[in-house]
Amino acid sequence: MGNQIVVPSLGESILEATVARWFKKPGESVRVGEPVVELETEKVNLEVGAEQAGVLVRILHPEGEDVKVGEVLGEIGEASQATATPQPPSQPEADKPSGSGPSEQVQTAAAGTGQPVPKDQEPAAQEVKPSDDQITPVARRMIQEMDLPAEEIQGSGPGGRIQRQDIERYLQDTQTGSAKPDLSISVEAQKSEKPAHAQAGAQRPEERVRLSRRRRTIAERLVQAQHSAAMLTTFNDLDMTAVMDIRQKRKEAFKTKYGIGLGIVSFFVKASILALKEFPRLNAEIQGDEMVLKKFYDIGIAVAADEGLIVPVIRDADRLSFVDIEKKIQDFVQKAKDNTFSLEDLAGGTFSITNGGVFGSLLSTPILNYPQVGILGLHRIETRPVAVQGEVIIRPMMYLALSYDHRIVDGKEAVQFLGRIKEAVEHPEILLIEG
């Protein structure tokens, strides 16, 4: 037996993945350590490499299929062993219809007479429900979730196997009211023969795009946070004058010395840690009937990526300098562009910060990164008139939002926590003295 390519351990609480793409085809040679297949998980994409040199002899799970940890994806062996991707057994010859063309009537012998019976008088054949090996795992899950009749869905895969696109086509046909497709008509012909009302422009154009595993997980987690926590948001605004002055004075020297820019998020990381030490329930989580107060500060920083928002974690942020924090954030931004996050980057976290201001957001209510109980939302800085000591002056202002789990964090505590962050950012010397 050749060397098996197995779904590796995927990290904390991740048990399933989706085969994103195969880099090799059966019969192609592979080197030791060379990536053979890419798996898409709810957090990151992983490349699985070859543990021995040889030839990819077979693929057991094609692209788009869901797999679990420990499942065999394929096999590497000698060139003589190479075969095409195994497919479900085709229909036995005995079960195949006779050679009559589509335009001819199928005739059968009437019982006891030997006379042919016209097709329109022939008893209707019973529809047979496809077996599990005739449905891909993704399609099977869709059928179960939407309670669809599998026997009515025509499979376009090898051997009539039902695939995801067959489900989507069936749903589209059902929604448009079209009749059950004739098995003798090709898939391409079905797509081209639109109903008259669709050709006349009555049907609006639309596109169906499969949600990636990561996007599905993001959706599940956000809904979980809404259903599991008593979420509430409190707001404040703060004067960014002091921080803007520091950046203006020090940004060139900072970049020259450390090779990175001085942003504003590092100030809020420092201020959040200061406030978390004074209000420890914001750095906790609920487990059963217990409240777990965490004595370490792993701060999640929301970063926009192609597949959706990702929250990598700055570990032990209370021990890091402004420079260290800025380097971590810059590293996260680059990894988001390159799609090179590791599971270690994304695991855990005790409190999160999200900056919608980089996209121009004036105000928002962030959703908790469950099971965390607090998340700080930053927004765009805009100059506006404010009253200071009886005078109206123009200042760079920002709205802050703190979403929290009201089950363990009281409103008074949340307001005071946000006020402490406001104070520390408006007077950055506090971060030097008390931080």
Contact 55, 27 (CB under 8 A): yes
For residues 243 and 248, give the distance between their C-alpha atoms in angstroms, rounded to a whole number. 9
For residues 377 and 366, give the distance between their C-alpha atoms in angstroms, rounded to a whole number. 6
Contact 309, 367 (CB under 8 A): no
End-to-end CA distance of the chain: 61
The beta strand positions in 94-145, using DSSP E, are 108-109, 116-117
Amino acid at position 106, single letter: V
For residues 69 and 15, give the distance between their C-alpha atoms in angstroms, rounded to a whole number. 6
CA 140 to chain centre: 20
Structure tokens at 112: 């006891």
For residues 206 and 225, give the distance between their C-alpha atoms in angstroms, rounded to a whole number. 31
Residue that is written with structure tokens 């004075």 in the block: 249
Name the helix (H) or strand (E) containing 4. Answer: strand 3-6
Active-site residues, by number, are: 406, 410
DSSP structural state of residue 370: T
Establish whether the linkage from the previous residue to 149 is cis, with ω within 30° of 0: no
Angle, vertex CA 284, rays to CA 287 and CA 45, nearest 5? 80
Name the helix (H) or strand (E) containing 411. Answer: helix 411-426
Q: 335: Cβ–Cβ under 8 A, 6 or more apart, which residues? A: 312, 341, 345
DSSP 3-state assignment of 315?
coil
Structure tokens at 434: 């008390």
Alpha helices (runs of H) in 259-391, residue ranges in sequence order: 265-278, 322-338, 343-346
Residue that is written with structure tokens 């609480």 in the block: 13
Q: 361: Cβ–Cβ under 8 A, 6 or more apart, which residues? A: 379, 380
Name the helix (H) or strand (E) containing 77. Answer: strand 72-77
Angle, vertex CA 430, rays to CA 278 and CA 321, nearest 5? 90
Structure tokens at 184: 């003798």
